[in-house]
Amino acid sequence: MNSKHYKGNFSKCKEIHILVKMYRRRGKGTSISLYDPLPSLPQKPKPVYKNIIAMAVKVSEYLETDTKRTYTSAGDHFGVTRARISQLMTILEKLQDDFIQKMGECEDQSLIKRFSGKKLLKISAINNEKERQDKIKRLLVK
């Protein structure tokens, strides 16, 4: 286009300012809304921790019902590895029966969280029975 053509039309141009309320949220990407406020972000659900002792009791019962069952078959049945089945059995063998019964029926998520699989394995690795009981008592008091 010819620039001479536009020389005379500059006086017809008008500048307009529009004030618009804008809603913005930053996150993985920026979200912008010009009309309605952005909806609130969904709340993350509280985590549900696995009760390791209850799972170990189920695995033990599964293995005891048929003596021909192996840790591998139990692992396939419960969807875990053979090594995890071995860890669960170690936990059951080393810890006291009253603690196992109490934790097997427990539904308190904070208590279940305190007795995670790693902590239970560390406790069961302690050779001295009295030290094991003391460690469990300290975790129960928290």
What per-residue confidence (pLDDT) applies to 7? 56
* Residues 117 and 87 sit within 8 Å (Cβ to Cβ): yes
Half-sphere exposure of 114 (CA within 13 A, CB side): 14
Q: What is the mean pLDDT of the chain?
A: 88
Tens digits of residue pLDDT in 31-71: 878 788 888 888 889 999 999 999 999 999 999 999 899 99
Question: If you average pLDDT over residues 1-11, what whole number do you get?
Answer: 56
What is residue 99's predicted lDDT score, i.e. its pLDDT?
Answer: 94
Show Cβ contacts of residue 8 under 8 Å, excluding neighbours closer than 6 positions. Answer: none
Against a cut of 0.75, is the pTM above it? no
